[in-house]
């Protein structure tokens, strides 16, 4: 059996009964169940419909996401999450660069790297180089004044942990930020790059080895082995090209508000929902949230 899940942006709450009934009827689905009224609903189907992506495209025009996946095993025991533009709404290095007066140049490099147009390690080295001499205290200022969390993140981590899952934050960004995000949201661990500092200022040189795409894959392998979990029991979420390795390896790889080139390679694409969508696709109803 398979489960089809329809998810709208919680702020819009524009998923209506008629849309749900129309798709369920067309696909010969079982009884539909609301997970959150006008936000998320699901129904079962015996096989993946041949017009799955045509239906997905049509629902995108209504501001609704559609996910079809095997029903068995969809509730995961591990979450591996990217940070920038995934658990938080910003790219930390872009915010630091903005303070340093090189924001536009760094944002351009970041966008190209996340689209897969540039080698991630080279792009990170170039961007960090542009931050040379920035006072270390700017990091705390950026965290306090500029960092905001992606909606649904607290519910996602709290609910998965309450149900026995292990949650790891793995970022191509920096430990100065992942430490704060992981502690605030309740992640079990975090991995990222170090921003090197000498005499109170950023050196402009990244620590080695740089944590990028392969390091995220390695994190999935190491943590799942430590927990004695199969990759099918892992959910990974990210938005950039350096997340594709872990998204493809995980049992459920979620492209969240992802770059088009990244989303095109993933079967689970969340373009309108927030991080609570990752709970709905596991079958959690809003009343189950921790």
Domain boundaries, the chain: 1-72
| Cβ contacts of 216 within 8 Å, gap of 6 or more | 80, 82, 170, 172, 238, 242, 243, 245, 246
- CATH 3.40.50.150 holds for 1-72: no
**pTM, two decimal places:** 0.93
Cα(68)–Cα(75) distance, integer angstroms: 14
pLDDT (0 to 100) of residue 247: 97
Q: Which of 16, 21, 31, 84 is catalytic?
A: 84
End-to-end CA distance of the chain: 28
In angstroms, the CA 222 to CA 14 distance is 41
Distances in whole angstroms, Cα of residue 21 to Cα of each of 168, 180, 210, 237: 37, 43, 49, 29
CA-based nearest residue to 15, from 53, 52, 60: 60
**Ranges in the chain, pLDDT < 50:** none
| Segment 50-96, tens digit of pLDDT | 999 999 999 999 999 999 999 999 999 999 999 999 999 999 989 98
Confirm whether 82 is a catalytic residue. Answer: yes
Bridge partners for 236 per DSSP? 80, 253
- pLDDT at residue 107, as a whole number: 85
Write down the catalytic residue from 9, 31, 65, 82.
82
pLDDT at position 180, please?
97
Q: Which two tokens stand for residue 179?
A: 């430490």
């Amino acid at each position: 059996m398979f489960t089809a899940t329809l998810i709208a942006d919680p702020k819009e709450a524009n998923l209506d009964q008629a849309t749900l009934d129309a798709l369920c009827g067309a696909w010969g689905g079982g009884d539909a169940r609301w997970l959150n009224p006008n936000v998320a609903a699901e129904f079962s189907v015996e096989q993946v419909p041949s017009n799955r992506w045509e239906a997905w495209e049509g629902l995108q025009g209504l501001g609704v996401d559609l996910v079809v996946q095997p029903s068995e095993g969809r509730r995961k025991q591990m979450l591996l999450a990217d940070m920038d533009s995934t658990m938080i709404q910003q790219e930390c290095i872009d915010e630091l660069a903005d303070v340093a007066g090189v924001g536009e140049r760094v944002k351009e490099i970041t966008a190209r790297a996340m689209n897969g147009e540039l080698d991630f390690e080279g792009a990170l080295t170039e961007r960090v180089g542009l931050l040379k001499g920035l006072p270390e205290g700017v990091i705390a200022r950026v965290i306090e004044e500029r960092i905001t969390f992606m909606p649904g993140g607290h519910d996602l981590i709290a609910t998965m942990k309450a149900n026995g899952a292990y949650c790891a934050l793995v970022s191509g960004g920096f430990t100065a930020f992942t430490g704060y995000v992981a502690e605030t949201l309740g992640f079990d661990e975090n991995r990222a790059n170090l921003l090197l500092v000498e005499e109170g200022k950023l050196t402009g040189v990244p620590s080695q080895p740089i944590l990028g795409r392969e390091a995220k894959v390695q994190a999935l392998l190491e943590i799942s082995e430590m927990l004695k979990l199969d990759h099918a029991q892992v959910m990974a979420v990210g938005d950039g090209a350096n997340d594709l390795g872990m998204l493809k390896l995980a049992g459920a790889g979620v492209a969240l508000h992802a770059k088009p080139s990244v989303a095109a390679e993933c079967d689970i694409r969340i373009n309108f929902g927030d991080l609570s969508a990752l709970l709905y696709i596991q079958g959690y109803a809003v009343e189950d949230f921790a």
